[in-house]
Amino acid sequence: MINLALGTFDDIHGVDITPEMMQHIDCSRGNITLHLASAESLPFAEDTFDAITAYSFIDHVADVDAVLREAARVLKPGGAALIDLAPNRLFWETLRQLDPSDVERAGAILAREFRMVTQNAKDIESAYGIDAATFEAAEPGKIRGGIDWREMQNAALHAGFSTCATQFEWFLGQGTIMHGKSVATADSIDGYLRDVIPVVRHLYKYLSFHLIK
């Protein structure tokens, strides 16, 4: 997100609680300041920023409400926040309820996503030696079954945002279709699904929230 912000914003601040992550950020390319801090207690004054981003992050915090309150506090009036790549609870619940024998008959796309939802922590432990319980503890949002889009919208409004729009992203197998067939094919499927979104929200793996203070 810092790389994307370069050239658009004059002043960029990055926040993380992990010192090791700071070592991966190149601060030489712009006015970038890093802060070792918790998102639930940001070291900034009220009405400081024009925009805030949280990419592939919100499922890693235990207290989502506290993060939203802090984001609203440090944003200027009219400022925008983007919370992206949040696991969609409808997707997680749908896959966890499947019978494994049905998954085996369905094919590789569903099998891959089913394993990601049900076995990912064990696969991480096997591949990298990270204890499965430790890995799961780092993703409390997924332990809760993902993010409920209605709950997030209500929490954002309660935290001080004036609007919160939800976008459903990455339908089941979209990446495989993009790379195995074509981007145009994936776009065509996505276009159809978005036309009937109220009945297919559970087919999208992630959520994107666009908030305005």
133-185 tens-digit pLDDT: 998 888 888 888 899 999 999 999 999 999 999 999 999 999 999 999 999 99
Q: What is the pTM of this model?
A: 0.92
**Side-chain half-sphere CA neighbours of 48 within 13 A:** 13
Residues in the chain: 213
Please give the biggest Cα pair distance in the chain: 55
What is the b/e burial string over 181-209, where b = at least 16 CB atoms within 10 angstroms of the residue's CB? Answer: eeeeebeebbeebeeeeeebbbbbbbbbb
| pLDDT tens sequence across 48-92 | 999 999 999 999 998 999 999 999 999 999 999 999 999 999 999
Q: Which fold has domain 38-212?
A: Rossmann fold (3.40.50)
Fill in the amino acid letter for 163: T
List the domain boundaries for the chain: 38-212
Q: Residue 109: count other Cβ atoms within 10 Å of its Cβ.
A: 15
Enumerate residues 6+ apart whose C-beta is below 8 A from 186: 174, 177, 178
| Chain centroid offset of residue 118 CA | 18
